[in-house]
């Protein structure tokens, strides 16, 4: 079994323990995934307080529905997918998203984190500008797909399910995003590094 397999088994044991009535197990999952959920949610909401409230809502919902929960293949994926639904609902309730043909397309933003912005001054300012311009060429859905693939490590089938796309469409979405970034930056490594550190 690879390290991902062991990790999934550990997460599933925590989940099983929570479903069986152990609140400490859910608290452990909360601590493990808070930063990832926050990073993902705030790219939609751009509001730290609302993002934290959304994480709280997710875990309250899990507590209330404990008796109906099954053991997911990937706890991380389950949490991200459930959290995404809560975040999109908050956007609708707060009138921050106009319900048009594809509401999921409108808000997802990726920006350089403060640590990345401070690296190296002059040369890196040029690099940061190039990366920011490259990212702005992507659609919000492309940004989200690449983020989920390279930052969160989700599989193509998981991303496809989360974005309500076919696997083939998801492959194309990520491939087009990478091609767009590669055309602008001439460096696939640079692109991936950007998503790993934002």
Judge whether 193 and 105 are in contact, CB under 8 Å.
no
Question: Where does 20-155 have alpha helices with state H?
Answer: 23-45, 48-64, 75-93, 114-118, 122-136, 140-146
Tokens found for residue 65: 């529905």
Q: What would the 3-class secondary structure string for 101-119 be?
A: CCHHHCCCCCCCCHHHHHC
For 20-68, how does the pLDDT look when each residue is reduced to its tens digit (9 = 90+)? 999 999 999 999 999 999 999 988 888 899 999 999 999 999 999 999 9
Sign of the torsion formed by the C-alpha atoms of 139, 142, 146 and 152: positive
Tokens found for residue 88: 């999109």
Tokens found for residue 64: 């209330």
Answer yes or no: is pLDDT of 103 > 50: no
Closest CA to 55 of 66, 41, 69: 41
Judge whether 114 and 47 are in contact, CB under 8 Å.
no
For 59-85, how does the pLDDT look when each residue is reduced to its tens digit (9 = 90+)? 999 999 999 999 999 999 999 999 999
Answer yes or no: is pLDDT of 101 > 90: no
- Residue 110: pLDDT band (50, 70, 90) is low
Tell me which fold the domain 3-93 belongs to: Rna Polymerase Sigma Factor; Chain: A (1.10.1740)
For 124-152, how does the pLDDT look when each residue is reduced to its tens digit (9 = 90+)? 666 667 777 777 888 999 989 988 998 88
Tokens found for residue 162: 């989360």
Answer yes or no: is pLDDT of 185 > 80: no
* Mean of the per-residue pLDDT values of the chain: 80
Judge whether 168 and 175 are in contact, CB under 8 Å.
no
CATH level 2 (architecture), domain 108-196: Orthogonal Bundle (1.10)
Number of Cβ within a 10 Å radius of residue 79: 24
CA angle 100, 101, 103 (to 5 degrees): 65
Domain range annotation of the chain = 3-93, 108-196
Whether pTM > 0.85 for this model: the answer is: no
């Amino acid at each position: 079994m690879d390290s991902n397999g062991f990790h999934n088994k550990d997460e599933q044991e925590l989940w099983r323990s929570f479903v069986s009535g152990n609140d400490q197990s859910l608290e452990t999952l909360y601590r493990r995934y808070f930063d990832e959920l926050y990073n993902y949610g705030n790219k939609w909401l751009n509001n730290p307080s609302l993002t934290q409230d959304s994480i709280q809502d997710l875990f309250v919902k899990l507590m209330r529905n404990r008796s109906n929960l099954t053991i997911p293949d990937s706890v991380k994926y389950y949490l991200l997918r459930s959290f995404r639904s809560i975040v999109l609902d908050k956007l609708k309730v707060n009138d921050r998203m106009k319900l048009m043909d594809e509401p999921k397309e409108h808000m997802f933003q990726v920006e350089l984190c403060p640590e990345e912005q401070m690296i190296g001054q002059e040369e890196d300012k040029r690099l940061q500008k190039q990366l920011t311009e490259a990212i702005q060429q992507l659609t919000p859905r492309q940004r989200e797909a690449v983020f989920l693939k390279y930052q969160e490590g989700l599989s193509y089938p998981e991303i496809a399910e989360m974005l309500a796309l076919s696997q083939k469409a998801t492959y194309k979405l990520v491939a087009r995003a990478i091609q767009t970034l590669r055309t602008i930056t001439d460096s696939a490594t640079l692109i991936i590094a950007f998503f790993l550190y934002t």
